[in-house]
Amino acid sequence: MVKLQRIQRPKTHRGKRALKEREPKLIENARSLLCIRGNKINNIMKILLKNLHLLKSPYSTMYQKKNLDIYPFDNTSKLEWYCQKSDCSLFAYITHSKKRPNNLILARLHNNIVMDMFEFELNNQTFRSLDDFKCIKFAPGNKPCLIFHGELFDNESEYKRLKCFFIDFFRGETNMKEIDLNGLEHVITFTLDIQTKLLSIRVFRIEFKKSGHRIPRIELNEIGPRLDLIIRRTKLASDDFYKKTLKQPTAIKEKKIKNVTTNELGTKMGRIHMEKQDFNQLQTRKMKGLKRNLTIDNEQTQGKRKKIDSTN
């Protein structure tokens, strides 16, 4: 697809910039979410989708129409095509049926191929939307803090992948070097109970209170959607595929400079490693007086002197 686009060039500078945004980069863009509705949905799922869209905005696209005949666990090609069109690498797909009520499917893609897909059941009794909490939320586009709680996240492979999935889902900007300390606005927390396997997702706003010293005391206020999810089905990427996606470009890695140190005075010190030297064969300055063949030379000069003397 990309090769074709090079043969047919973009006609405007804006088009050229848009294509450049979609190209694979060394430091990637934040993952975008595509919110899609299934054929049959109920009100709660609609609200949930809207909430997910708002949580992830501006890295989120919402498709308003219903989509027939999409069964992600059988065939993901239509969803992959939509994601390619809107340059998204995450999708959230909602349905509601008698067999699978309050169904939410979250998935992530790599190179427009579905990698991991998780199907959840939402507990509609305990669900609270963003509107149910009347307080200040957070600025859109802010990077959230993420907290995971529950031993299952480390013990079972499915939940390990789920943890990585949620980090990827909500992370926002990749490779952030600095953060404004006032910009820590919200936290998204995931609690996984080992007995009921219930995953509770809560979103809080962070408030800094005065403590006696430099580090502030934290208070949390719940702002966002309150979700209680149970995993129904999963479709995880094979280990080889997963390993391939983890490859990081070598250009980003910070290059270590070896053998150069700065001492306390600020002088730059370097270290040179020498090969072994034979001190007998070293090349030094030549001094004629120290030559070994000195005696022979003396005779020659005496001979010369004699000649001179004889001529006189």
Partner 1 sequence: MNSNDLVKNILKHDIDEQDRILKSTEVIKPCPVDIDLGNLLVWDSNIIDQQAYKANRDEYIKNTMRDNMQLFVNALWQVPIERHDNAIVAKLPESKTIVPREKPVPKPKPLTKWQKFAQSKGIVKQKKSKFVWDETKKEWGRRFGYKKANDDSKPWLIEVPTNADPNEDQFAKRLSAKKERVAKNEFQRLKNIAHANKVNVRNDGALINKKSSANDMKKALATAKYSDASMGQFSERATVDEERQTRGFSKRRKYESNLGSLKNEKNKQLKIFDQMNSSTTK
Site residues for partner 1, 57-76, by CB under 8 A, read 74-76
The region that residue 102 occupies, defined by phi over 0 for left and psi between -120 and 50 for alpha, beta otherwise, is left
Would strands 145-149 and 186-192 be described as parallel, antiparallel, or unpaired?
Answer: parallel
Point out which span in 34-42, 191-199, 277-285, 297-305 binds partner 1 (CB under 8 A). 191-199
The answer to whether 94 touches 103, Cβ cutoff 8 Å, is yes
8-state DSSP, 30:
P
CB of residue 12 to partner 1, shortest distance in Å: 13
Q: How many CB atoms lie within 10 A of CB 197?
A: 14
Residue with Cβ nearer partner 1 (6 or 292): 6
Residue 37: CB minimum distance to partner 1, A: 21
Looking at residues 10 to 39 of the shown chain, list those that interact with partner 1 (rule: CB under 8 A): 23-26, 28-29, 31
Which of residues 47 and 184 has its CB atom nearest to partner 1 in the complex?
184
| Structural tokens at position 119 | 């199907």
Question: Under the criterion CB under 8 A, does residue 148 sit at the interface with partner 1?
Answer: yes
Q: Given candidates 44, 62, 130, 146, which one binds partner 1 under the rule CB under 8 A?
A: 146
Record the tokens describing residue 266, joined without a space.
Answer: 């600020």
Question: Is 171 an interacting residue with respect to partner 1 (CB under 8 A)?
Answer: yes
Give the distance, in angstroms, between the CA of residue 249 and the centroid of all CA atoms in the same chain: 12
Other beta carbons within 10 angstroms of residue 57's beta carbon come to 13
| Residue labelled with tokens 């000649």 | 307
Residue 177: HSE in the Cβ half-sphere, 13 Å Cα cutoff: 2
Q: CB nearer to partner 1: give 66 or 244.
A: 244
**3-state DSSP assignment of residue 221:** strand
Please give the residues from 223 up to 262 whose contact with partner 1 meets the rule CB under 8 A: 226, 237-238, 241-242, 244-249
For residues 292-311, which are near partner 1 according to CB under 8 A? none
Number of shown-chain residues binding partner 1 (CB under 8 A): 83
**Nearer to partner 1 by C-beta: 42 or 234?**
234
Q: What is the DSSP code (8-state) at residue 89?
A: S
State yes or no: residue 144 binds partner 1 (CB under 8 A): yes
Q: x/- string (CB under 8 A) for partner 1, residues 199-218?
A: -x-x-x-x--xxxxxxxxxx
Structure tokens that stand for 55 in this block = 């949580």
